[in-house]
Amino acid sequence: MKFPLPIVTLLAGLMIGFYVNRLIVAAPTAFEHTAAPIHLSKVPFTSVSHNPEIKKQVLARYFQLPHVTQVAKAYLDPGQVASENWHQDMVEMFLFVAGDGVLSLDGKNYSVSDGSVALVFPPTKHTIFNTADKPLELFTIASVS
């Protein structure tokens, strides 16, 4: 029995969608929306698909950072501030790798240090302060939604 191509395409799409949805549910991300930064030690480990002995920590999925526009490492000198800003259509992930500081999200301040990670969705206002006497280093991953 032959099926018309549009029906085959629809069924294939539904099967793929079901499978992808199961993967997303099976491996939750660290963030569902803008929230207080968390430490990497709080993110659960899951296995990689090609070798269950290899573990990973999923910080974001394709639907959270759909169109990555930039991956960069930023350095804030002691006392330096990345002034308050917000984006209409850009999601940013901050992964702090050295130093100590404060991340302000819509006016609420959170301490950040090596291992802190935050996912900031639009239109959250955000500011980064280096409160230490050494550089604050972080990776930023920007994505236009």
Per-range mean pLDDT, top range of 2-16, 53-67, 118-132: 118-132
The CATH number linked to 40 is 2.60.120.10
* pTM given for the model: 0.67
Reported as a single tens digit per residue, the pLDDT across 70-112 is 888 899 999 999 999 999 998 999 999 999 999 999 999 999 9
When pLDDT is cut at 50, 70 and 90, the band that residue 137 belongs to is very high
Torsion over CA: 105, 141, 31, 86 (sign): positive
For the chain, the domain total comes to: 1
Tally of CB atoms within 10 A around 115: 16
Coil, strand or helix: which one is 8? helix
Residue of higher predicted confidence among 34 and 138: 138
| pLDDT of amino acid 9 | 45
Query: How many angstroms separate the CA atoms of 136 and 116, rounded?
Result: 12
Residues 28-72 pLDDT 10s: 555 566 667 888 888 888 887 777 887 888 877 767 667 888 888
Q: CA geometry: angle at 118 spanning 116 and 123, to 5°? A: 155
Domain residue limits at 42: 5-144
